[in-house]
Structure 1
């Protein structure tokens, strides 16, 4: 089987952290016997024709000089479009170049399937190419492409893409519901397929213990961990408030916040106002190769995401799955796609979003639970449903069933 993957972001060179999950997916397809070629926008300094881990890569130019190719990468297209009106001018050129390059690759490489990642623009482009060439099209939805960009015109483009997809994979129940609402006729083509992640690496237990000692003051007993953007929609405010409630109720906890965000200073000020600044450590960004040590060092991972003012919600929440694989208890919120992974009372605990009291009560439940049953159940659930080798196997089965 030959699969042509079309994406707006892909690692530009070995070691690049840009959308590693797309490369992990492509690499696993190769390991399971598929021939894979990736079409992605070019970026200054990247090779036009490349091969990484057995995955062929073809990068198309859409602007000259090459340094002017600023729509994608470095934070993603959505953020880049918001930052600069010049990028909005470049966007139609990028889409046109992507269409013609994908068409040429399809005509000459002759893939069995075209696989678009994100509904717009890739899904729309691939739907057109599929209609012109009669090559089957599978759309992969990652969340933001259906949950954001919700103008009437863009909904029309997304509905067209869904209508002209032989298979549509959605990463959570919330993205599935949105896709069904956009195009009810495609319900039978939808496949729930979470974004796959790599298996947990072998951890050095001495390093884990050293990290725990570094993060957890000797006066404290339990380490709470947050990993993600330090912004309002991630529930950092409620987590700091919940930490205050726990301390006032006699729970010996310390909170470590891993990540960066525009509102970091605001939350540091909140911790000071609540007089818990000594119970909260802002760690900053951590290399992805080290993050599992943080999960393993913590007692509870807390991800209290909520709906943002602009309508954003957590589409999936892979940090919960990573924490489960590392043997860390998890507490989330009943928001977006989080309940798909955090099944209340089975794989973790769920609080109400935007509610510090509910969050503190569920953290208490996790702290007071001495059984390893939930940890073991969560780990097995994460392996079965989220490891990339398992998600890719189900992906290929879905394509073969259609074929």
Structure 2
């Protein structure tokens, strides 16, 4: 076969991931689904291996994508390690789940090895350095196939113990190439590692730019100033600080405010109790987990988006903040915190407002500023939307396809 014809061959890739949408309405790691679909449009053939879960539903995939879920524990209803709040928060909330970890890793390895034997992909792409990246590198050595690993944030900032840290560094040193969503994520793995290619995760720009506020606004909400948070309700998202900030608003502003919290997780009941304790339970609406397809309507209905992320007690924080880009695409001014990779997405007072972490007073002041300063709101909307458009998945997919070709061909 000539060199030219080899390069023209369709790229056949095995994806390993610890999270992937379990149904067409699921928002769990939905950014991976968007990336997969954009890659399929670029004629990449993907076989995606992700964990099984009681909420997995039969779901027709686009041409070029096969999605397989590996079972790792019995009975099915006890497979609770992945999804929900995420593996690490799930382990902290229910330590007995540590019993499932070896079964999880073993089942992923065995199922992936079988796919390698039957499908013969030309490349393995692992999302998150550990454990997927480590399993992928071992498979790559076994089957003599190049391996690409991608760091998304939680794998960098959390799990920094000496043993796991050494495993993660070994993984990076033994893969063919690796990518990171931000420089902050890459730097968190430590010095003296091969340099990654920085490829931020993207968004479906057109989808979020086309939200319909009227679809979700009730008559009594139309005169309100809607503050919006979207994300998992876990410690590192800092939602407790947001609730405290809203409680601190002056009465004349608080009377006009409604805080919408979309998402679910281990912190939900604690956050509801906090709202009651601060006497603003009638100002906070917990929408729970909503289908991803209708999220653009909620963004469109909001006036200000707030992502008050922090560094949690285990050192985990935000790797990039894709949710901020979704808000920007929806023409909403955003407020977030200067932690992790967020400052690589938001330029303070240019594309959003940045405040310090764990500073409810600063969040409160930022809300007051945006409510009072119409000119600033408009400038942030315009600049934010322009930035969000540059993160459209089609542009991200082109970068990954180029990297796939280089990694596959060893050039």
TM range (shorter): 0.7 to 0.9
Query: Contact 2:213/2:298 (CA < 8 Å) preserved in 1?
Result: no
Q: How does 1:182-261 map to 2 (within 5 A)?
A: 184-187=192-195, 190-201=196-207, 202-207=210-215, 210-211=217-218, 213-215=219-221, 218=223, 220=224, 222-230=225-233, 233-247=236-250, 253-259=256-262, 260-261=264-265
Equivalent pairs counted in the alignment come to 392
Cα separation, 1, equivalents of 2:111 and 2:294: 38
Query: Contact 1:331/1:366 (CA < 8 Å) preserved in 2?
Result: no
Cα separation, 2, equivalents of 1:256 and 1:45: 29
The CA deviation string for residues 89-120 of structure 1, in whole angstroms up to 9 with x for no partner, is 33223322322332332244222211011112
Instruction: Specify the alignment match of 1:333 in structure 2.
Output: 337
The CA deviation string for residues 32-89 of structure 1, in whole angstroms up to 9 with x for no partner, is 11111122344569699x8611212344444455556454345543344445565433
The CA deviation string for residues 162-216 of structure 1, in whole angstroms up to 9 with x for no partner, is 011222111223211113x1x62312xx0212222223433335325x34x4435
2:226 aligned counterpart, secondary structure:
strand
Verify: 1:392 aligned to 2:387, yes or no: no
Query: Contact 1:332/1:351 (CA < 8 Å) preserved in 2?
Result: yes
TM, length-normalised to structure 2:
0.84
1:52 equivalent among 57, 61, 85: 61
1:121 aligned counterpart, secondary structure:
helix
Once the two structures are TM-superposed, the CA of residue 251 in structure 1 deviates from its matched residue by 7.6
Instruction: Specify the alignment match of 2:185 in structure 1.
Output: 175
Instruction: Specify the alignment match of 1:111 in structure 2.
Output: 121
Structure 2 CA distance for partners of 1:258 and 1:70, relative to 1, 3 Å? closer
Q: Which moved more, 1:308-317 or 1:11-20?
A: 11-20
Instruction: Specify the alignment match of 1:377 in structure 2.
Output: 383
Q: Which moved more, 1:326-335 or 1:102-111?
A: 102-111
Once the two structures are TM-superposed, the CA of residue 329 in structure 1 deviates from its matched residue by 0.7
Query: Contact 1:247/1:253 (CA < 8 Å) preserved in 2?
Result: no
Instruction: Specify the alignment match of 1:288 in structure 2.
Output: 292
Query: Contact 2:89/2:266 (CA < 8 Å) preserved in 1?
Result: no
Cα separation, 2, equivalents of 1:267 and 1:85: 22
Cα separation, 2, equivalents of 1:46 and 1:269: 31
Cα separation, 2, equivalents of 1:132 and 1:108: 15
Cα separation, 2, equivalents of 1:293 and 1:251: 24
Which structure carries more relative contact order (alpha carbon 8 Å, separation 6+)?
2
CA RMSD of aligned residues (A): 3.0
Query: Contact 1:243/1:253 (CA < 8 Å) preserved in 2?
Result: no
Structure 2 CA distance for partners of 1:58 and 1:233, relative to 1, 3 Å? closer
Structure 2 CA distance for partners of 1:264 and 1:131, relative to 1, 3 Å? closer
Structure 2 CA distance for partners of 1:8 and 1:353, relative to 1, 3 Å? closer
Once the two structures are TM-superposed, the CA of residue 159 in structure 1 deviates from its matched residue by 0.8
Query: Contact 2:347/2:353 (CA < 8 Å) preserved in 1?
Result: yes
1:314 aligned counterpart, secondary structure:
coil
